[in-house]
Amino acid sequence: MSINATSNTKATIPAGFWEDARGALIPESVIKPVDKERDALVKSLVERAKPLQEALLKFKVDAFADIQALIDLSAEQYGAKVGGRKGNVTMYSFNGRYKVVRAMQESIAFDERIQAAKALIDACVAEWTQDARPELLAIIDRAFSADKAGEINPARVLSLRRYEITDPRWIEAMSALSEAVQVVGSKSYIRLYERIGDTDQYRPISLDIAGV
């Protein structure tokens, strides 16, 4: 037995009923004990995790602010001014035991000039078809292949610039590729490390629950 109540909130659920995932009201008497135990466990874990999430967020915000403050302080020693929170920075404790890395990762995409670059590359490939190595043709096809979302992988396309091809159309295509790159967003990370014994190797201090 259930009561359809898709708009129910916690405050309006009548006594003796539980709301399921579809918003229907289920009499508590028909809910299996194991389902009740599972519900209690999941809610308990989530409630304990939320303060940890908030603490990690506060730590990240504070860490970025503290790192930037030290960068600004260091720059002041030389009368320099550092603008914005850009670039990767690595800092070590005085004894070298700990390392902190501020990493900035930009997301890039291509504007409409990618089409011009592709046309120039296609023209080269069409002329080279007789003599081109199959590996090169496969690399070009793979570079411009789209994923399930219809997006082209920028890293694969930009990897074409590594090839030393002197055909003027290829050179122009590579120039078009570079100019088509647009920064569409960025992510920032704080990574902490501890030195392994007396070696020059460091192990991450994981703040990711999957890596603990």
Q: What was the pLDDT predicted at 174?
A: 86
Angle (deg, nearest 10), helices 113-128 and 134-143: 160
Q: What was the pLDDT predicted at 157?
A: 82
Q: What was the pLDDT predicted at 37?
A: 97
Which regions of the chain are under pLDDT 50? 5-9
- Taking the model in full, what pTM does it have? 0.61
Q: What was the pLDDT predicted at 36?
A: 96
DSSP tally for the chain: helices H, then strands E: 5, 7
Count the Cβ atoms, other than its own, within 10 Å of residue 143: 19
Q: What was the pLDDT predicted at 21?
A: 93
CA distances from 197 to 61, 202, 205 (A): 30, 9, 14
N residues, the chain: 212
> Residues 76-88: pLDDT tens digits?
888 776 655 567 8
Q: What was the pLDDT predicted at 109?
A: 80
